[in-house]
Chain A
Amino acid sequence: EAGVAQSPRYKIIEKRQSVAFWCNPISGHATLYWYQQILGQGPKLLIQFQNNGVVDDSQLPKDRFSAERLKGVDSTLKIQPAKLEDSAVYLCASSFLLGAYEQYFGPGTRLTVT
């Protein structure tokens, strides 16, 4: 079974530039999550989708971050414009359904904002 795929793996941009990350979840998984992991900390949930609908985006900085999951499969997370404090690893995860089901994580995208 293929795992969660993410691209790119690494990205370096200057502050105020834009960047986009892509995630392809495990086939058949209805729920998709985007997390931000700052060095030395645990992942923090940014947004959660159930199929193509948003379940929770309360911790997403909506003035600069946006995410979509068209057709309920792949998802894209965008940052525009980026700030220095956005430097982190962005992890995508998926699960079969909400709640009791394990979350499976992709390898992440390491973003450096200079």
Chain B
Amino acid sequence: KQEVTQIPAALSVPEGENLVLNCSFTDSAIYNLQWFRQDPGKGLTSLLLIQSSQREQTSGRLNASLDKSSGRSTLYIAASQPGDSATYLCAASGSARQLTFGSGTQLTVLP
């Protein structure tokens, strides 16, 4: 059974810092890995999807990497802004195609 862990549970940084969010998964036989953003009281917004054959994906200030052999993915946010404050969730899609989510990292970017 796939298990996804995100550490830390919460992170607070000053505006302008580059930061890395971590995600680990127990079953390396994943189909893809997806990063989401969740704002309070709202649904999830898809940020990046990395196929199992890919090593990374980039969108604007966001870069996500995937290392299946070590069971890890990272989300890099460059030049953080207060508007980046949200909870970031990673989810692994296994052989059955269902997403297994981590509990998320709550990010606060201080002005």
Interface residues of A (CB under 8 A from B): 4, 6, 33, 40-45, 48, 55-56, 91, 93, 98-100, 102-108, 110
Contacts and interface: CB of A to CB of B under 8 A. Distances in A.
B49 A102 contact: yes
Interface string B34-47: 10100001111110
Contacts of B34: 102-103
Nearest to B98: A45
24 contacts: A6-B43, A33-B99, A41-B103, A42-B89, A42-B102, A44-B101, A45-B99, A48-B98, A55-B97, A56-B96, A56-B98, A91-B43, A93-B44, A98-B97, A99-B32, A100-B32, A100-B51, A103-B34, A103-B46, A105-B44, A105-B45, A107-B43, A108-B42, A110-B41
Interface in B10-65: 31-32, 34, 36, 41-46, 49, 51
Contacts of B104: 42
Interface of B: 4, 31-32, 34, 36, 41-46, 49, 51, 89, 91, 93, 96-99, 101-104
Nearest to B43: A105
The 9 lowest CB-CB distance pairs between A and B, nearest first, are A42-B101, A105-B43, A105-B44, A107-B43, A99-B97, A98-B97, A102-B46, A42-B103, A108-B43
B44 A43 contact: yes
A43 B43 CA distance: 10
Given A42-B102, A44-B101, A56-B96, A99 B31 contact: yes
A111 to B, nearest CB: 14
Contacts of B101: 42-44
A2 B73 CA distance: 31
Contacts of B45: 105
A104 B4 CA distance: 20
Given A4-B43, A42-B91, A91-B44, A103 B98 contact: no
A91 B42 CA distance: 10
